[in-house]
Amino acid sequence: MKILYKTASKKTEKPWRATRFEGAIFKQIESLLFVIESEKSKYERLSSSRSKKKTVSNNVHENLKKLQNENKILKSSIAFLQKQTEILQALLAGMRKNYRISDNISSGFFPDHDYNKYLSRFVDIDIQYSPSIGKLKEIGKHIKKFFLNDRRCTYIFIHCNGITEDLQNLLYINARKNQTGLADFLLDRSKVYQYNLEDLDLPERKLGRIIIGRYPYESGEKETTLNNRIETEILITKRLLEKYILEIQNKELAIKDGLTGLYSRKFFIERFTEEFNSMDMFSKLDESELNLLKIIIKSEGIAAHILRNHYFVKYKTKDEVLFNRVLNKLRSLNIISTKRIKYLGDLEDGYFFENSKMSYNLYLAILDLDRFKSVNDKWGGHSVGDKILREFANIIKKNIRTMDIPVRYGGEEFIIIFPRAMNYSRIFNVLEKIRHDCEHKLTVSWNGKKRNVTVSIGVTQLTKFDKNINYIVNRADAALYKAKKKRNRIVRCIQDNNDEFLYT
């Protein structure tokens, strides 16, 4: 920018310069512009925030409307369910009324004395007692007495069976009675009732049979009344027997193998664990006692001061009272013993693991049929294989003691638990008889060929190192593995004090 200055003689041009006053004005303008920009940005942020809040508010209103609609639907559903409940209650009241009517009719159908007698002999027994073979036979006596004495029938036959071999002939009744005072009956005729006992889930599976015979009345009216009455009683008896047989059968199948009749693997695990825990002292120790015992087992003969330091370092404690209490508890239970040992030339106490069981008179044997797969593949199939398994189970049952527990562990593998066995020689004699019988009596024939089916057996005894049943099962299995190498032999596994396995 240039400014012209006039003089008297001529025009001259000089550059313009801002004064101090004008510079201050410019600075104020710049600060005002800055303020305006900042206020503008604040305004924009406020506008954005307001729009977001408005959007959120709209969403809340929409969700509230949805919830209100859902609430209306739920209220209508609740009202519908209340109406349905009222209808069901009315139906239930009607059913109760009909039940009372039918109960009164049935009570009138039987004379009071006989009706109550019948209920006490059958229905109450049905409700109060858990099923067992002994209780079933007791009920059978009541049934026999009821029909021969109270109903004056002349003949009763009842035969009940389960589906397994051990449940054959659960109940057998075959009785006759010569009745007296039969002037009102036709003695030249006979009325016979026959019913099959059936599995309620599989009616084609027959569980037994009921046959009852009697003389009919001369009077048609009396005969009709008595016939209806006895038919009703026989049907109730049939239902009762079917229920008992099925419950006994289901109870038996829960612990028995259906093919061989030996105990199942599940029962073995539960029963053996129970037997093991009854003798095991590990289970009676608390955490601190087990921790100290682990150190002693790992370092047999450990010196007293080393044991103490090791325990304090490993389990991060310095509780002398706790350490001494635990040590004394293990000593009092005879789980550990103390002997004088030399350590760095000095004599001091050393601790040894001695005992973990109240008794070690328990042996376990695993038996496995040799080359059994070829029986199924080349000697007649699975039907022949099943026959061999049943015969082998019978050999086991014939040779073991009543207290021994035979188990079908899986496939062709079996287990026998020998509790309270005082010495190995008796156990060996039992196993040797089983092995001998298999070698000479267990045979399979097919297409004119014949061969014997032998068995390999691994056996072991409970030891102080066994912390659970898996230890003894695995040791017996290791012995079985050794026996299977040459087959048809018995191998015993012994665990020595150095935790080493010895096979004999």
Q: What is the CATH number of the domain that holds 322?
A: 1.10.10.10
pLDDT of 96: 66
301 and 175, same domain (yes or no): no
322 and 451, same domain (yes or no): no
- Banded pLDDT at 393 (limits 50, 70, 90): very high
- Banded pLDDT at 2 (limits 50, 70, 90): very low
232 and 302, same domain (yes or no): no
Specify burial of residue 352 (Cβ count, 10 A radius: 0-12, 13-18, 19+).
Answer: middle
| Domain extent at residue 304 | 281-353
- Domain membership of residue 87 (yes or no) is no
152 and 198, same domain (yes or no): yes
144 and 239, same domain (yes or no): yes
- Report the percent of the chain where pLDDT is more than 90: 19
- Banded pLDDT at 126 (limits 50, 70, 90): very low
pLDDT tops 80 at residue 147: yes
pLDDT of 355: 72
Specify burial of residue 485 (Cβ count, 10 A radius: 0-12, 13-18, 19+).
Answer: exposed
In angstroms, the first-to-last Cα distance of the chain is: 122
Token pair for 124: 């109450």
344 and 389, same domain (yes or no): no
Cα gap 81→68, rounded to integer Å: 20
pLDDT tops 60 at residue 268: yes
- Banded pLDDT at 182 (limits 50, 70, 90): confident
- Domain membership of residue 39 (yes or no) is no
Q: Total structural domains in the chain?
A: 3
pLDDT of 459: 95
CB 311 within 8 A of CB 292: yes
- Domain membership of residue 107 (yes or no) is no
Q: Which of 104-108, 420-424, 430-434 has the highest mean pLDDT?
A: 430-434
pLDDT tops 70 at residue 18: no
pLDDT tops 70 at residue 192: yes
Q: Which of 320, 353, 386 is the last residue of a domain?
A: 353
Q: Is the model's pTM score more than 0.85?
A: no
Residue 447 Ramachandran class (φ > 0 left, ψ -120 to 50 alpha, else beta): left
Lowest mean pLDDT among 7-16, 52-61, 185-194, 384-393: 7-16
Q: What is the 3-state secondary structure (H, E, C) of 32-93?
A: HHHHHHHHHHHHHHHHHHHHHHHHHHHHHHHHHHHHHHHHHHHHHHHHHHHHHHHHHHHHHH
Mean pLDDT of all residues in 314-322 = 84
Cα gap 399→309, rounded to integer Å: 55
- Banded pLDDT at 102 (limits 50, 70, 90): low
pLDDT of 287: 83
pLDDT tops 60 at residue 20: no
- Domain membership of residue 431 (yes or no) is yes
210 and 338, same domain (yes or no): no
pLDDT of 113: 45
413 and 466, same domain (yes or no): yes
Lowest mean pLDDT among 20-29, 187-196, 200-209: 20-29
405 vs 10: which has the higher pLDDT: 405
Mean pLDDT of all residues in 211-223 = 90
pLDDT of 164: 62
Mean pLDDT of all residues in 439-454 = 84
DSSP 283-352: GGS-HHHHHHHHHHHHTTTEEHHHHHHHHHHHTT---HHHHHHHHHHHHHTTSEEEEEEEETTEEEEEEE
pLDDT tens sequence across 220-256: 888 888 898 888 888 888 888 888 888 877 776 677 8
340 and 377, same domain (yes or no): no
pLDDT of 100: 55
- Domain membership of residue 3 (yes or no) is no
- Domain membership of residue 406 (yes or no) is yes
337 and 373, same domain (yes or no): no
Mean pLDDT of all residues in 176-190 = 88
- Domain membership of residue 7 (yes or no) is no
457 and 331, same domain (yes or no): no
Q: Tell me what the pLDDT averaged over the chain comes to.
A: 80
pLDDT tops 90 at residue 501: no
- Domain membership of residue 340 (yes or no) is yes
Mean pLDDT of all residues in 36-63 = 79
205 and 228, same domain (yes or no): yes
| 263 DSSP assignment | B
